[in-house]
Amino acid sequence: MAEPGDRIEITPRGTRGARTMWGSFLPRLFKPLLDMQISRYRKATEPVAPKMFDFPLVLLTTVGARTGREFTHPLGGFEQEDDTWLVVGSKSGASTHPAWFINLAKNPDNVWLEVGNRKLKVQPSLLKGKERAAALARIAAISPRYAEYQNKTDREIPIVCLRAT
């Protein structure tokens, strides 16, 4: 488990992966829809995460590594028996990490998780080895698309454990 102030290792980027729309003009085009989704999520009255497709949806807020601004991202979140949550830096199997993961790794003391109507300050830790493999298997049992993402890239897709502080 990471201690406050510990940085999260940023694993190397891959040499192959799925092509994504991230980094083009499309994110700017869809930003109003994303903002609307986040706003609608925050109006939730239940303390449980709503489901989207085949997994629970959570909001992860990080602080930008370069900008220092807060960014909120809707992600698949997987609750564990020990009251922690797992999030996966899949970026749909792209060869690069998602921006939220870079921000989380560089500013691990400034991370918040929203689950339904609850907002929790969390401490992230990167899962490795057998622990990571077991977590990916549990996640893929709920949402098989996550196993497919790992097959699309040679980058080790990060799985981050979030523990409320």
Phi, psi of 150 (to 5 degrees): -65, -30
- What would the two tokens of residue 76 be? 């698949």
* Alpha carbon distance 157, 59 (integer Å): 19
* pLDDT tens by residue, 155-165: 999 999 999 99
pLDDT of residue 23: 55
* pLDDT tens by residue, 108-157: 999 999 999 999 999 999 999 999 999 999 999 999 989 899 889 999 99
Residue 16 clears pLDDT 80, i.e. is over it: yes
pLDDT of residue 150: 87
- What would the two tokens of residue 63 be? 């602080």
* Alpha carbon distance 9, 25 (integer Å): 29
* Alpha carbon distance 86, 125 (integer Å): 10
User: CA nearest 84: which of 144, 2, 150?
Assistant: 2
Q: Whose structure tokens read 């929790």? A: 120
Please say whether the beta carbons of 120 and 63 come within 8 A: no
